[in-house]
Structure 1
Amino acid sequence: MGKQRYDQRVRAFVEVRGGEADWELAGERFAAHGWPVRDSVPAGAGPLGDAVETRPDSRVYEIEVRLPGIAKGADLGAARRVAKALRAARVEGYVRRTDVLHRDRETPSYWRAVDTRSRPRPAGAGPGRLLYRARLALGHADGRTLVHAEGRQALRLARAGLGAEALVTGVRPLDGRWREPRGRLSEELLERRLWALFLWALATAGALPFLAGRTGWPRGFWLVALGAGIFGTLRAGARLLPRHRAGGRLTGALLLAGCVLTVSGGPGGEPASRAQVAGVAVVVLVVVGLAMLVRQWSWGEWVAWAVPLAVTLAVSTLVAAGSLLHAFYADGFGLTPGDLDVPPIWKALAAVKLLTLTSLALVPPALWGLARHRHHFYATPGESFNFLLWPLMILLLVAAVGQLVLDTAEDAVDRTTYAAEHATDPPPFFGVHPEWTCVEPAIPVGRLAAEGPPLDPARPYLSFGVAGGNAVLWDAGAGEPVKVPASKVRLVPAERADQVCRSV
């Protein structure tokens, strides 16, 4: 791993006690964590002055703590990280003060330097002037210089060091931000407000499936939630364009309309169900939370979390490749996986299905990543605690996957047996397509070496296909599987489940 990424910089004043040996050890710990030491003075001197008690064995370090996460709470998060680092080194130290160093960038326009000698600007306001401006906008007079500043400064930068050529050098904007230099949002603030608008619109649209069909107090609850979402979306849009709040609200309304159209399926489309909306929310939560968790890991935490998780997922993938779902499905009918002839592509899709079932087990570490990003006290980085957490996560993963796999296979078996009992078309299951089939023996029925209940050629059976040289059937009346040599019978698709088959 390279250097750890960080989002915030916090200036911390740390009082370290114990004398020169402990001071040196504290400096080593600061360097090991990538926290530059800006200054160090005896206690009672420096920026904090006599606010810190003067002691001969005490020294105050001014360090810069770099940590990932949001700005809110970064000062407390930095203080906890420094305290934990000193405690791990068995050094007596106290974080006396922390200040978040906020450095947000402005967003001036980009300008391209232009040479006005090739085509002088026409006088007047006729067609020649319009043609000149069009050619200028298309870049026909562009030079090779790009500047990034506000209007007047951009012109000065473009002309700097050109001598006599400065008077014939101009600039043209590459975007429209130069029209409103005042009231423009800074880069990070603009990004945060864009995300706020997007999330408000998505959450509001996602509430619609939960409102549909509700009565009583649940309907009232979701109506209130929908109203709050609409208000939040319009407010987020207004905050996005503080100088044009009406335009911002219109932007929010258009984005909300697009999200609602997507969730509702559009004209002639099928609207999203509650399960689909909840599933998408869980997937987004897991992806974002794990991304925030992984970007904060140290080497020790990679060993504590990532290695066991990778091993677990690898085992799950291998098991899925062996079609665990198909094995449970076959077992529900008293068959073995070898009795089902499943194409490899469907085994791969079953493996993908199995891996998607692990998403619920990944919710706890995802929430842990979000808690770290927000500097919650219980999520302060520490290798020892994480060594206790990953076995719990693996147990949750295995338990959740096992239960979901069983539920998925059992549900498919129940739907198929229900179809067999009620003479309806059975549903497919990852490449297994049971269908009603008439079995026409090529030899007398009494001479067939069949496994299971006696074969009755006069009625159709549910056929799972041919595997291992046997036609694999399901006797709905007996509730048991039937296997007959495929070379001794002819399988003819039945038109319906209650038809009378031609027998030998």
Structure 2
Amino acid sequence: MVRHGYAGVREALAALRLARADGASGYVASTPVAVRPLDGRWRANVRYWPEEEGERRLFRMVCWVLLAAASLVFASGREGSVRGFWCGAVALGLVGALWSGTRLYRRGRLAGAVIAVVAVGVFAAMALGALDQHGRGWSRLQVLVTVALVAVLGGLRLLVRQWTWGEWVAWAVPLVVTLAASSFIAAGSVLHALYAVGLDLSPDDLDVPGIWQVAAAVKLLVLLSMVMAVPAWWGYARHRHHFHATPGGGFNVVLYVLLLILMFGGAAGLALDSARTAVDRTTAAAKSSQDPPSYFGVQPEWTCVEPVVSVSKLSGEGPRLQPARPYLSFGVVDGTAVLWDRTAAQPVKLPANQVRLVPADSATATCAGPAR
């Protein structure tokens, strides 16, 4: 048996008929030959759509499935007419998913409907937290961000598909350089630096594991991608042949410069807001004697500071040490214990060889007195 791959099912079936033709049909078949597509679809009884048509139908079904799951998130915790609206959206998404599933294949509508039902069940369980060991489902903000990212990626895809070689040079090359530069900056952990500055620390005062620096870099790139809504809108406009989406080359240059300014300005604003929110949560938790939240690998902990020398002989930076009460500790970096005084709302930096750091049970714990 000789196998040869074809791009479409129709071509594969035509080749199969040709391979099986005999002399009576005007062809001479010297040996029994059969041609099969490499993807194995010929074994199934279901007739498939052409590749692009199948992708479009699958995309529509996934959109309906996501609508049902996302509407469940917005319906939970609601009351009255608002809950009724989102329950209606859930029903609409379920009906749309079933309708799209039955049209997923040319034949075998039941199989497509089963796939749609399973997909709705899985995504609904994920949305409500049934598959999470802590019972945490999707938040409304996560749903909105996901929808925005999908819309942005769809618009960018339409924009790239319509580019000529000149536009690739004018747009893609600077865009790649921009993303590469932003990735390099993100590798230096911009979010961690902003977080440290918000606490009156220096970026070198935080010892962040590499994996969390990568996570912070990904976060920054996600923030940057949200600003790509402008070129995404441009892609939708050009796809629909809007008159303002076919300007001359000079306008494209001006638009791109404005886009770069918007990208960096928007990403900087979002990054500042993320770090500022984390700083506010940390300081608020410290003032209320609670455990502060972590921020991309930075986990301040309540710690008792026991001097191994007289308090009067301690060298360092910040307010005078009060060994009887706990401090927030950010760890030891380059031989320096980095602490934060909740009373003075200032950092305290002491030589690590002059103090002993002992974890405290809570912010209200009583620590040992100073060394005598």
Change (3 A) 1:445 1:383: same
Mapping of residues 57-72 of structure 1, within 5 Å: none
Structure 1 CA distance for aligned equivalents of residues 58 and 239 of structure 2 = 19
Structure 2 CA distance for aligned equivalents of residues 495 and 246 of structure 1 = 59
Question: Are 1:328 and 2:194 matched, yes or no?
Answer: yes
Question: Are 1:318 and 2:168 matched, yes or no?
Answer: no
Change (3 A) 1:304 1:241: closer
Question: Are 1:212 and 2:79 matched, yes or no?
Answer: no
Shift of 1:266: 4.2
Structure 2 CA distance for aligned equivalents of residues 317 and 267 of structure 1 = 33
Structure 2 CA distance for aligned equivalents of residues 230 and 495 of structure 1 = 50
Structure 2 CA distance for aligned equivalents of residues 179 and 312 of structure 1 = 49
Mapping of residues 112-131 of structure 1, within 5 Å: none
Residue 207 of structure 1 aligns to a residue in which SS? helix
CA RMSD of aligned residues (A): 3.2
Structure 1 CA distance for aligned equivalents of residues 46 and 279 of structure 2 = 65
More deviation in 308-317 or 438-447?
Answer: 308-317
Structure 2 CA distance for aligned equivalents of residues 243 and 315 of structure 1 = 50
Task: Give the equivalent residue in structure 2 for 1:410.
Answer: 276
Structure 2 CA distance for aligned equivalents of residues 441 and 243 of structure 1 = 78
Task: Give the equivalent residue in structure 2 for 1:342.
Answer: 208
Structure 2 CA distance for aligned equivalents of residues 357 and 313 of structure 1 = 12
Structure 2 CA distance for aligned equivalents of residues 267 and 341 of structure 1 = 34
- Aligned mate of 2:21, from 156, 163, 178: 156
Mapping of residues 417-436 of structure 1, within 5 Å: 417-436=283-302
Change (3 A) 1:382 1:253: farther
Percent of aligned pairs with the same amino acid: 47
Amino acid at match of 1:395: I
Q: Could you list the per-position Cα deviations for residues 442-461 of structure 1 after superposition, in whole angstroms to 9, with x for gaps in the alignment?
A: 22111222322111111111
The answer as to whether partners of 2:46 and 2:107 remain within 8 angstroms in 1 is no
Task: Give the equivalent residue in structure 2 for 1:79.
Answer: none
Change (3 A) 1:497 1:156: same
Residue 390 of structure 1 aligns to a residue in which SS? helix
Change (3 A) 1:447 1:371: same
Higher helix share: 2
Shift of 1:358: 0.7
Residue 294 of structure 2 aligns to a residue in which SS? coil
Unpaired runs of at least 5, structure 2: 1-6
More deviation in 414-423 or 295-304?
Answer: 295-304
Amino acid at match of 1:148: A
Question: Are 1:253 and 2:120 matched, yes or no?
Answer: no
Shift of 1:175: 4.9
Task: Give the equivalent residue in structure 1 for 2:4.
Answer: none
Amino acid at match of 1:408: S
The answer as to whether partners of 2:46 and 2:106 remain within 8 angstroms in 1 is no
Residue 269 of structure 2 aligns to a residue in which SS? helix
Shift of 1:474: 1.0
Amino acid at match of 1:352: V
Structure 2 CA distance for aligned equivalents of residues 486 and 305 of structure 1 = 52
Shift of 1:154: 5.7
Change (3 A) 1:266 1:474: closer
Amino acid at match of 1:156: A
Task: Give the equivalent residue in structure 2 for 1:484.
Answer: 350
More deviation in 154-163 or 451-460?
Answer: 154-163
Unpaired runs of at least 5, structure 1: 1-104, 112-146
Change (3 A) 1:178 1:266: closer
Mapping of residues 189-204 of structure 1, within 5 Å: 189-204=53-68
Change (3 A) 1:356 1:488: same
- Aligned mate of 1:396, from 255, 262, 265: 262
Q: Could you list the per-position Cα deviations for residues 123-160 of structure 1 after superposition, in whole angstroms to 9, with x for gaps in the alignment?
A: xxxxxxxxxxxxxxxxxxxxxxxx6256xx66327986
Question: Are 1:453 and 2:319 matched, yes or no?
Answer: yes
Change (3 A) 1:295 1:418: same
Shift of 1:356: 1.6
Shift of 1:248: 5.0
Structure 2 CA distance for aligned equivalents of residues 244 and 176 of structure 1 = 15
Q: Could you list the per-position Cα deviations for residues 328-357 of structure 1 after superposition, in whole angstroms to 9, with x for gaps in the alignment?
A: 111222121122233344333322221121
Shift of 1:188: 4.3
Structure 1 length-normalised TM: 0.63
Aligned residues: 358
Amino acid at match of 1:461: Y
Change (3 A) 1:300 1:384: farther
Larger radius of gyration: 1
Change (3 A) 1:482 1:366: same
Q: Could you list the per-position Cα deviations for residues 304-339 of structure 1 after superposition, in whole angstroms to 9, with x for gaps in the alignment?
A: 323443343333223323322122111222121122
